[in-house]
Amino acid sequence: MSDYLEVLWEREIDAESLGVNSWETIANRGFDNPRQFSAYLHTLNYARRIKFISRNGRNC
């Protein structure tokens, strides 16, 4: 069974399509610090909410 991940490609920094063998390289490099990744997600969510409010004139 395969897992699928959906991303907003235009939001990805330095987006690049990787082959199957590239996952080992990524795993060896490690992942983002959880606190940094959390801050990034909170920033995206904040920007999304502000954009929604400015377009619709109400809270989301």
**pLDDT 10s per residue in the chain (60 long)?**
567 767 777 777 887 777 778 878 878 888 888 999 899 999 999 988 888 888 887 655
pLDDT number for residue 56: 83
Q: Is residue 3 part of a domain?
A: no
pLDDT number for residue 42: 92
Q: Is residue 13 part of a domain?
A: yes
Q: Is residue 4 part of a domain?
A: no
C-alpha to C-alpha distance for 16 and 26, rounded to whole angstroms: 13
Q: What is the extent of the structural domain holding 26?
A: 9-56
pLDDT number for residue 58: 67
Domains of the chain: total: 1
b/e 11-41 (16+ beta carbons within 10 angstroms → b): eeeeeeeeeeeeeeeeeeeeeeeeeeeeeee
C-alpha to C-alpha distance for 21 and 60, rounded to whole angstroms: 41
Q: Is residue 1 part of a domain?
A: no
pLDDT number for residue 26: 77
**Tokens for 45?**
């969510």
Q: Is residue 34 part of a domain?
A: yes
pLDDT number for residue 38: 92
The SS3 call for residue 3 is coil
